[in-house]
Amino acid sequence: MPQEQERRSQQSQQSSQTDGQETARVESDFAEQASGLDALLDDIESTLETNAEEYVSSFVQKGGE
Amino acid sequence: MTVLRVMGTETEYAVTDRANPRANPVQLSFDVVDGAADDDRRHIRWDYRGEDPVNDARGYRLERASARRDMLTDSPQLQVVNTIAPNGGRIYVDHAHPEYSAPETLDPFQALLYDRAGDRLMLVAAREASVRTGKRIELFRNNVDGKGASWGSHESYQILRSVPFDLLIAIMTPHFVTRQIYCGTGRVGLGERCETAGFQLSQRADYVHAKVGLQTTFDRPIINTRDESHSTDRYRRLHVIVGDANRMDTPEALRLGTTSMIAWLAEHADEVGYDLTALACRLTPADPVEAIHMVSHDLTLQQPYATEGGGTITAWQTQVLLRSAVYEVAAGVYGTDIDGEPLWPDEPTKRIMAMWGTALEDVARVAHADDEERMGMTGAAGRLEWLLKWQLMERLRTRRGLGWNDPKIRAMDIAWAALEPRASVFEAVRAHAISLIDDAALDGARTTAPASTRAWLRAEVVRRFPNDVVAASWRSITVRGGDGQLHDIDIADPGEHTEAACRAMLEPVGTVDDLIRACSAER
């Protein structure tokens, strides 16, 4: 158990460091990515079913839980 | 406990057959579960003895005769297909949806990891099912079809039973009404059947119709009172049904992490003389159901709701005050460093508290921005799922001149949730969302149980003795011994039966009879 906790806390430390780095990287990357979303929209539009209306109307589920 | 406590997720998926829009969803769900079952474990039944869906946490029981059939989840003939996932979780048919219950975990990041591992397991199962049946089965991680139906993404938290349930209701209600400002997945359409065109923060809010209740399939409550602890008498399990199925990691880690910290607050406020009831009174909406709808619909993020105490408050202010209360109590319980930061006893708690702060900063910035500024808020959109979804849709709307009720926009909302990467809008923009999970860990979590809960022993026994295991449940494993008799292995305490506690015991075990002997000696 002690080993396990140590491993877990090391992982967490790594991840909290990564969090900081990630935020910094993400902010700078995302400056360019604002226009990136526009570029992706073409791909996304082609991903969507050609007949969006049929896709939406056929997505019918029953309640759950 | 801190943010660390036994917790886990249950995720129901929407299921369709692309080749046959009229396919029976119950059959499709059975197909998926069948696709998930390995040959050597498909005979293992779920043991419903520990389930008690009509036991109410408010201290009474619903008569079974007056329960609707769909509340009787322990009635095995209604749901026959079930498989124990290799990671100790459970894959099964729940009404008309395939569902994955993650194995028990100990912190929100681990719970997130195992929920995501479930997405992978279910995707593989759906592909396998398509091959076996010749259908084109697809799964979606969302909660609404826009035509009136809703299904759940539930959370469970182990909480000390010594906390009065009324206090838990009082402090969780304002949290559940308001956490959607940073946990929401975003949804196209307002109203259960998209009666009004528009966009809202949450998938689930419009389907909530009661403050408190036992039921989960109709008249859904903000606080679910099902008292089925799957644990020892010391704890209750808070079963949360108001949450959205998130595709992004940050909102899900926060959904689990902040709720765990509110539970911590309820467990510890007394120790330092903090008056939690007064805070709850200040934050609780006069009409919580109306407030949960209003908060979800309010894209200004600034509309106040009337409180029980006679004042008004916004969702953001409520979250700021809840987080402050956690800080105040933690400062008393743990002491503080020279900057006044509580000496959090573990990293996941420290990390969740920081992420909670960032989320509230993000929401404040978005609240003060106009639509054009919001389109450029790339940092916040990496953490707020509803914002990233909104940005993408708003771009398409502007480009093509579309209204919110245009089929293209509605299709985008559905496809956001598709698990199959080539059909998924979320997968196309995944790089824009902050990831809290690495691929190697995710791969491991599909096949390896969490080491620090009883899920480890469940998974290990099923892995080593699949033919001898007859049934399993959250709190027991039933094996058939060499004598032909059935033996229950009791794993009632979720925090015991961990790898550290059991690996040495299992080392010399070669046969199922050795296992039975070792486990009874253990007791």
- The answer to whether the Cβ–Cβ distance between B436 and A37 falls below 8 Å is no
Strands (E), B203-267: 208-213, 220-224, 235-240
* pLDDT computed for residue B499 by the predictor: 96
Interface pTM (ipTM) of the complex?
Answer: 0.88
CATH class for the domain made up of B7-441: alpha beta
- From chain A, the residues in CB contact with B99 under 8 A are 64
- The answer to whether the Cβ–Cβ distance between B25 and A62 falls below 8 Å is yes
Reported as type and span, the H/E element at residue B116 is helix B108-133
User: Does residue B433 sit in helix, strand or coil?
Assistant: coil
Determine the residue of chain B that is closest to A12 in CA distance: B347
Torsion of CA B154, B160, B166, B172, to 10 degrees: -40
- Enumerate the active-site residues of B: 94
* pLDDT computed for residue A21 by the predictor: 45
> CB-based contact (8 Å) between B249 and chain A?
no
* pLDDT computed for residue B62 by the predictor: 65
Residues in chain A: 65
> CB-based contact (8 Å) between A24 and chain B?
no
Q: For B267-280, what is each residue's pLDDT tens digit? A: 999 999 999 999 99
Which residues, in sequence order, are bridge partners of residue B237?
B158
**Domain coordinates in residue numbering, chain B:** 7-441, 451-522
Q: Is the pLDDT of residue A10 over 60?
A: no
Contact B122, B36 (CB under 8 A): yes
Strands (E), B39-181: 45-46, 55-56, 60-61, 82-84, 90-94, 97-101, 137-140, 153-160
Angle at B461 between CA B459 and CA B465, to 5 degrees: 125
Q: Quick one: pLDDT band at residue A14, thresholds 50, 70, 90?
A: very low
Nearest to B94 among A22, A59, A64 (CB): A64
Helix, strand, coil % over all residues of chain B, rounded to 5: 45, 20, 35
Q: For A42-58, what is each residue's pLDDT tens digit? A: 888 887 877 899 999 99
- The answer to whether the Cβ–Cβ distance between B500 and A1 falls below 8 Å is yes
**Predicted TM-score of the model (pTM):** 0.91
Please give the Cα distance from B173 to B176 (Å, whole number).
Answer: 5
Nearest to B347 among A1, A16, A48 (CB): A16
Distance from CA of B383 to the nearest CA of A (A): 10
Q: Considering all CA atoms of chain B, what is the largest pairwise distance in Å, rounded to the nearest integer?
A: 73
* pLDDT computed for residue A48 by the predictor: 82
* pLDDT computed for residue B199 by the predictor: 98
For the record, the structure tokens of B33 come out as 């579960």
Q: For B188-218, what is each residue's pLDDT tens digit? A: 999 999 999 999 999 999 999 999 888 888 8
Q: Which position has the token pair 């790594």?
A: A14
Chain A and chain B share a number of CB contacts under 8 A equal to 155
Q: Quick one: pLDDT band at residue A34, thresholds 50, 70, 90?
A: low
In one letter, which amino acid is B446?
Answer: R
**Which stretches of chain B drop beneath a pLDDT of 70?**
50, 54, 59-80, 522-523
